[in-house]
Structure 1
């Protein structure tokens, strides 16, 4: 009997029992209630052990669709030939670097290959510290940049949890530019001023905390170009433009974390930092998750000046598997598929339709849907209990997530500081029919919430 056949003989209960016995309880599943045992995927669909189909609206990792044949074949063919240490020359690595750089602004021209987004962000911090000679980091509230110690230190999403390690003194937290629920809101200020006002919050932190209290200069400012864990936040106009200026004036570098939102997810630009203008160019970009369509590969892209500073230490950068032939073959196939199948156009067209219909739904249910925001296939739907107070509908949001799975066969997730934002980050092959199915199911759930509330009155 083959190993795969033996595995397939496990019942759902046996799988759960083995996981509970041998896997840490801190390794959480997507769904605690009625957990899913997924055994197969294709395109924008996942299938459980009983063959039930689920529409996947959350797997931004399987960027070009689960098990895309071109990506699978690229990996299999290379595995048949060779997989080895990346310290040997191999064409796949240099071709992959060339493909990535060709998608970047001209100044971003040097690549480091790693295995994960966490490794990429950790290396970005090392590069920034070496280049600037500084240590102070400015991060955004609710941000998450990875699971290494260096990244938990700059991730309020983690260090603000009970029992988490204390924030280091060299880390400074700026308000997330959430114009709906954040420190500064469009309820109080003109929408066109929001980016400028939130950027001034970063400048204030630099002037008062970094320079004033600590007598230091800035090492780096790091932010996701679209913040995911913070509740699908779209950065307001001029925010990055002004922040990058203030950070550089204080001696720091600007790091764009594109680990979740890169590779065309916005529908209009390959990288989300470009959304507000081609003049917004970070010093370091980190990429990961979608790069390998589920295979572990990530990268850091930076300028020649930053790379030279790192090289000057004499400490060679060595990553055994980062950029290995198989991983790079897969990443090359992902980029080729994105271009060949015009998936950015699909994200733009279907994303615009989805966002428009969700906003129409918000207009019909303003007492349940407080805000709808997004670009391309990066969308957030914020549920509330009261439109005036904006009280988060946390429990109702979790109920929607579970009901969508159990009743409709649709996988969505929720996040944000109050866990009341439904997150949509589907594979790039998500189509208009999928959008209509999602919209129909969501409208039913929202209508049920309203009905239940009135019954309680």
Structure 2
């Protein structure tokens, strides 16, 4: 079977006697689906930052940004239940909820980003954003980072090299190295990334594609989690100077994840032309959005009637609105900042040659696992071993990065100081120190 970096660096590898449930799953779902860990976890319940398996064992969820305000948050559950019992239909009828939510969502963004469209997944809105960018610019060329992941539609798979396997990057796509803050000197980082983006854009023009857009996840999560804020602004200027637009993929860094602001692009001091978001938006209820400057959106909006049967339905909007309530009322952005800082500080204090770097922002943390800190060589096998050792300590994380060696720590925003203590104890046990 082909190898996918984003899917298989921490996937279950079948072989030998299998749990009957695993065997049934493989039979009915087929081989494209993946499970996490050498010993998959059978979860049956969630609460806050914790998950419970079929035997009632409690796990610390340090991975899921989907249930961003905590698993089964009562305010979200109540809002969804109430709306489900009242009405659920599509957006071709008038409904006050979608208007009021849209006003709240856009109020969290720069004033220039003033219109929004809805779908069900990040893949869908990234696909939509590419269409909007092409109609705005008349160009099809796209610049992405080397190990980007932006979705699983045909168009977004073509800009998601981390999927690997039989997928192929489009002929109209150019890849640039991410801003590797571990291996590139700080005083060279922004200039190198900007030059790479400019060269990629020029190559697209020379090939006849033109420059439609630069699309990046603003914390470079699938590339290995790079939080430096000096790198994007000049690169965006290069793209706009060649007629392209900037798409900020906020599916992972958005909704207060970084602790510094509501959106990852804010940390870079940027106003995007298009913003996409999904996963954490409805705390597990499918909803995604593409927000844009009205002038950028206009050619598409005037020329293409848009309809998404489930996008922006009243139940999903109720969930999304409740998520905003919880973020505001429980001060989860501040929690992400303070608890995330404590988590990074604890990890950085561990003196172990296998830990090359600890980086991130808020509750998005990457730990670079290397053969030795002095040489910085990635250690994919050891990263996988640590992930599975943590799973045995009842702490759930995963990995990312080109070499599958960066531990990806991305818990719900309600992670507590006691959860950090649990994580630290489990992590040191997994290291054997």
Q: Give TM class, smaller chain.
A: over 0.9
1:302 matches 2:288: no
> In the TM superposition, what whole-angstrom CA distance separates every residue of 1:37-82 from its partner, at most 9, and x where no partner exists?
1110000000011100000000110000000000000000000011
The one of 215, 235, 247 equivalent to 1:243 is 235
1:321: which partner in 2?
310
1:21 matches 2:27: yes
1:194: which partner in 2?
189
Q: For residues 165 and 324 of structure 2, what CA distance do their matches in structure 1 show?
A: 40
> In the TM superposition, what whole-angstrom CA distance separates every residue of 1:126-163 from its partner, at most 9, and x where no partner exists?
100111111111111100000011011111112xx343
Q: Which runs of 4+ in 1 moved over 6 A?
A: none
2:382: which partner in 1?
396
Specify every segment of 5 or more residues in structure 1 that has no aligned partner in the other structure, as ranges: 1-11, 449-457
Of residues 91-100 and 327-336 in structure 1, the stretch that sits farther from structure 2 once superposed is 91-100
2:176: which partner in 1?
174
Q: 1:142, 1:417 within 8 Å by CA — same for their partners in 2?
A: yes
1:5: which partner in 2?
none
Give the match's secondary structure for 1:131: helix
Q: 2:158, 2:167 within 8 Å by CA — same for their partners in 1?
A: no
1:6: which partner in 2?
none
Q: For residues 281 and 179 of structure 1, what CA distance do their matches in structure 2 show?
A: 23
Considering only aligned residues, what root-mean-square deviation do their CA atoms show, in Å?
A: 1.4
Q: For residues 36 and 79 of structure 1, what CA distance do their matches in structure 2 show?
A: 30
1:426 matches 2:411: yes
Q: For residues 403 and 447 of structure 1, what CA distance do their matches in structure 2 show?
A: 10
2:6: which partner in 1?
none
Q: For residues 394 and 95 of structure 2, what CA distance do their matches in structure 1 show?
A: 43
> Quick one: structure 1 residues 193 and 237, their matched pair in 2 at CA, closer, same or farther if it must change by over 3 Å?
farther
> In the TM superposition, what whole-angstrom CA distance separates every residue of 1:361-406 from its partner, at most 9, and x where no partner exists?
1xx22x2101110110000001111223322221111111111112
Q: For residues 334 and 162 of structure 1, what CA distance do their matches in structure 2 show?
A: 35
TM-score normalised per structure 2: 0.93
> In the TM superposition, what whole-angstrom CA distance separates every residue of 1:3-33 from its partner, at most 9, and x where no partner exists?
xxxxxxxxx94422321220121100112x2
Pair member with larger Rg = 1
Give the match's secondary structure for 1:379: strand
The one of 200, 210, 214 equivalent to 2:207 is 214
Q: For residues 15 and 91 of structure 1, what CA distance do their matches in structure 2 show?
A: 44
Q: 1:87, 1:320 within 8 Å by CA — same for their partners in 2?
A: no
> Cα distance, 1:215 vs. partner?
4.0
1:386 matches 2:381: no
1:451: which partner in 2?
none
The one of 331, 344, 360 equivalent to 2:333 is 344
Q: 1:115, 1:296 within 8 Å by CA — same for their partners in 2?
A: yes
Q: 2:145, 2:223 within 8 Å by CA — same for their partners in 1?
A: no
